[in-house]
Structure 1
Amino acid sequence: MERRLTNAFGILTIISAVLYGWFFSLARKDFSNLLVIYILLFIAFLGYNYISKKGTQENLKLFPNFLGKWFYGSSLIGGIFFIGLILRLLLIDNTPHLSQDFFRFIWDGHQLLNGYNPYLYLPDDIIKSGASHIPNATFIHTSMGELSSGHYTNYPPLNQLFFAIAAWLGDESILATIIWMRLFLILADIGIFIYSIKLLKLLGKPMWFIALYFLNPFVIIELTGNLHWEGMMAFLLLASIYYLFSLKKWQSVLSMSYGILLKLLPVISLPLLFRRLKFKKAILYYLAVAIVVMIGFAPFVSQDLLNKYASSVGLWFGNFEFNASIYYIIRAIGYQVTGYNIIQTVGRILPVITLVIILGISFIRKNEFPEILLSSIVFSFFTYLLLSTTVHPWYLVIPLLFSIFTRYRFMLVWSFTIFLSYSAYSSENFTENNWFIAIEYILVLFIFIFELFLTKTILPESKGEITNH
């Protein structure tokens, strides 16, 4: 039995490696073939998880014992790590094709390297001025697309620092800069692996649950493949929560602050910590986070920054729309009532509703208990996404990661169905397929409701403390 499981793990790895190579050889508009490969990758992923679960019961040894000692004495966990790492490294020199955001990352990196405040200059204006401080400027400007080149950057300071380091290391080579960015994101995933194992151990949960994230094709494609920095943000937020449970408050504060300085979204989790920290400690925690974040923004602060950064962030709520759920229903009703798109109005109201729901989750749920706090993080980000006007696939990373520490698996379903949103890129006008969007969300909401209500008495959330500090 053990040999069969080991052989199956190896065969799945060979198949997955071939599928990833095939996947990244196709153009974004070739949606049908991409979808077939994605489905096959998910089947392989389910196979990995079956073997991991079975292997835990059988004490399966995928790697020599001396490697297993690095992973809490489990060579199965070592096997999951090395297979996940190999699949990521296979993509090391791949140029992303499902997203062109990385061109803006490179652009901003060179802006900062050359002493320009990246928040104050439009790429369009830089090109018109004839400035020559950005290598391959014309190609990068054209490749990032009009949506990016015509708007101010919205990536926070720590993200800008990573862009600049990668641009410095990559110099004038776009490919070298891509490789350095990819290495940073792979290191973030390794950090997620290590802290996830630590947290699963603290919670007394099976360590093989890390495979639900680390071997997930969604994670490998969107983070390592497409160079989205949500993986780094997820690592910093995970480290912050782990340190919080381990009673290392200052490490938690710094990790949380760095997460916000990389992407703003970890602020969603701050109200959820209130009951865990209690009143006085919570106020001190929030104050410390605010100070670190302000220090991070300080080198860039000006009146221009406040105006341009706010307008850039505001675009995501009042102008852009993609792969939304509840918003699209409201928009359709709005068309019937008013005859025009009411995104400007709805884009201001939905964030308020999101905030109210998150505050409700923060103060009504018993977030002093670890597993309930972790599931509250999942629910809060899930709420944010359901009420957003724009939901790109990589936005799912945080709730997907934190779901592995809970009894909920609806985010795994969404990490599969969200690939349907890429169908929009198969048409010249980037027209979304409403049937695909309906399938995507109906399946996810069905599983969510089933897990939330129908399985509550079978698999209740734990209210116990972590097993050790």
Structure 2
Amino acid sequence: MKQKLGNIFGIISIISAVLYAVFFSLSRKQFTETFLVYSLLFLCLYAFYKLSKHAFHVNYRFLSKKWSGRFFNSDVLVLVLAVGVICRLLLLTYTPNLSQDFFRFIWDGNQLLAGYNPYLYLPDEVMRSGASPIPNAAFLHANMGELSSGHYTNYPPLNQLVFAAAAFLGGKSIFATMLWMRIFIIIADVGIFFYGLKLLKLLGKSPYLILLYFLNPFVIIELTGNLHFDGMVSFLLLLSVYHLLKSQQIKTALFLAYGVLLKLLPLIVLPLLFKKLQWKRASLLCLAVGAIVLIGFLPFYSSDLIEKYSGSVALWFGDFEFNASVYYLIRAIGYEFTGYNVIETAGIVLPMITFLSVLLIALKRKNEIPEVLLSSIVFSFFVYLFLSTTVHPWYLTIPLLFSVFTRYRFMLVWSFVVFLSYYTYSNSQFTENLVLVGLEYTVVAAVFLWEVIFFDKNNLQKTKLNSL
């Protein structure tokens, strides 16, 4: 039986590796083919989850007696780590096929290396000046897309330093720079694996649950494959929350601030900390985070920084729109009654509703309880995404990771159906299919409501009956 189980693990691992290779041999214009392969990879994840759950409970050992139990309590975790790392390493040499953002990452990194403030210069302006200090400037500019080249960078300072480190190690080679970016992203994911296990142990949950993140095709494809740094942000936020639960406030503040300096999104978590830390300590922590973030921006400070950076960030709320849910409904109603796009108004109102919703979650839920705090983090990011005007797939990374530590699996479902948004890139006009967008959010909303309302209600009733 054990040999048979090991063989099945091996077969699924090989199939997954082959599917990843096939996936990155396709272009984003081939939506049907990529979605089919993506779906098969999720089937492999499901099979891996069921097998790992069984193997963990029967204490399955596939390592020799000399090595078994040396690294982890369960050999299944060794397998999960090995398969996850191998699948990521297989993608080292592939060019991202779903996103062109990495061209801007390389541009910003080289610009910083050349001694120029990346927040102050548009790629379009640099190219028009004809004096670009950036290696392969024309190629990078041509491939990053007009949306990126015509706007100031919105990536925070720590992210810029990561870009610069990759550019330094990669030299003038785009391929080598891309390779180093992937290595950084893989290291962050491995860090998530180990600290995820620590947090699961702290919560008294089964360690094999970490595979829902570490072997998730969404994570491997969007982060390692398409070079998005949301996994690195998630790692820093995970470190912050872990040290929070260990009552280590200094480390909590440091890692949370580092996360904000990589991407601004972890700021959403700040209101949720007040019940856990009480008002005085939480206020001090917020001040510490704010001070560290300001210090991080100081090397880039100029009289134009605030205007250009805030203007670039504001575009994501008042100008850009992609794969939205509530906003698209508001937009349709707005067209009906006003005859024009109401994104400027919605871009102001929806963030305010998001803030008030997170504040409500912070005040009303028992966030001093670790399990409740973790689910509050998931709910807060979920609200933010549902009310956003722009929801690129990789934005799901943080709530997906933290959902692993809760009973909720709606983010896992979303990490699958979010791929429907890539239909947009399969046509030359880059037109969204609103039927597919509607299907995506209908499925996610249905699972969310079932888990949060009906599932929780049934569990509460069972608890009351058991207490009688």
TM over 0.5: yes
How do residues 316-395 of structure 1 correspond to structure 2 at under 5 angstroms?
316-395=316-395
Distance (Å, rounded) in 2 between the aligned partners of 1:444 and 1:33: 23
Distance (Å, rounded) in 2 between the aligned partners of 1:392 and 1:182: 20
State the partner residue of 2:196: 196
State the partner residue of 1:252: 252
Cα deviation digits, residues 344-376 of structure 1 (max 9, x gap):
111111000000000000010000000000000
State which drifts further: 309-318 or 452-461: 452-461
* 1:73 maps onto 2:73 in alignment: yes
CA contact (8 A) 1:64 1:75 kept: no
Distance (Å, rounded) in 1 between the aligned partners of 2:303 and 2:60: 60
State the partner residue of 1:466: none
Give the secondary structure class of the aligned counterpart of 2:456: coil
1:191 and 1:460, CA in 2 relative to 1: closer, same or farther beyond 3 A?
A: farther
State the partner residue of 1:447: 447
Question: What residue identity is the alignment partner of 2:315?
Answer: L
Question: What residue identity is the alignment partner of 2:281?
Answer: K
1:70 and 1:398, CA in 2 relative to 1: closer, same or farther beyond 3 A?
A: farther
Distance (Å, rounded) in 1 between the aligned partners of 2:267 and 2:70: 34
Question: What residue identity is the alignment partner of 1:49?
Answer: Y
State the partner residue of 2:147: 147
Distance (Å, rounded) in 1 between the aligned partners of 2:308 and 2:452: 41
Question: Once superposed, what is the RMSD of the aligned Cα atoms?
Answer: 1.3
Unaligned stretches of 5+ in structure 2? 464-468
How do residues 36-47 of structure 1 correspond to structure 2 at under 5 angstroms?
36-47=36-47
CA contact (8 A) 2:56 2:74 kept: no
Q: TM-score, normalising length from structure 2?
A: 0.97
CA positional deviation for 1:406: 0.4
State the partner residue of 1:405: 405
Distance (Å, rounded) in 1 between the aligned partners of 2:85 and 2:460: 34
Cα deviation digits, residues 226-262 of structure 1 (max 9, x gap):
0001000000000000000111111111100000000
Give the secondary structure class of the aligned counterpart of 1:25: coil
Q: TM-score, normalising length from structure 1?
A: 0.97
Give the secondary structure class of the aligned counterpart of 1:270: helix
Give the secondary structure class of the aligned counterpart of 2:87: helix
Question: What residue identity is the alignment partner of 2:303?
Answer: Q
Question: What residue identity is the alignment partner of 1:162?
Answer: V
Q: Percent identity?
A: 59
Distance (Å, rounded) in 1 between the aligned partners of 2:294 and 2:229: 21
CA positional deviation for 1:66: 5.5
Distance (Å, rounded) in 1 between the aligned partners of 2:66 and 2:82: 14
CA positional deviation for 1:460: 5.8
CA positional deviation for 1:69: 4.0
* 1:19 maps onto 2:27 in alignment: no
Distance (Å, rounded) in 2 between the aligned partners of 1:375 and 1:119: 35
* 1:53 maps onto 2:53 in alignment: yes
CA positional deviation for 1:459: 4.2
Give the secondary structure class of the aligned counterpart of 1:455: helix
CA contact (8 A) 1:417 1:440 kept: yes
CA positional deviation for 1:303: 2.2
CA contact (8 A) 1:65 1:75 kept: no
Give the secondary structure class of the aligned counterpart of 1:456: helix
What is the total number of aligned residue pairs between the two structures? 462
State the partner residue of 1:429: 429
State which drifts further: 296-305 or 354-363: 296-305
State the partner residue of 1:100: 100
* 1:169 maps onto 2:169 in alignment: yes
State which drifts further: 436-445 or 449-458: 449-458
Unaligned stretches of 5+ in structure 1? 464-469
How do residues 70-149 of structure 1 correspond to structure 2 at under 5 angstroms?
71-149=71-149
CA contact (8 A) 1:68 1:78 kept: no
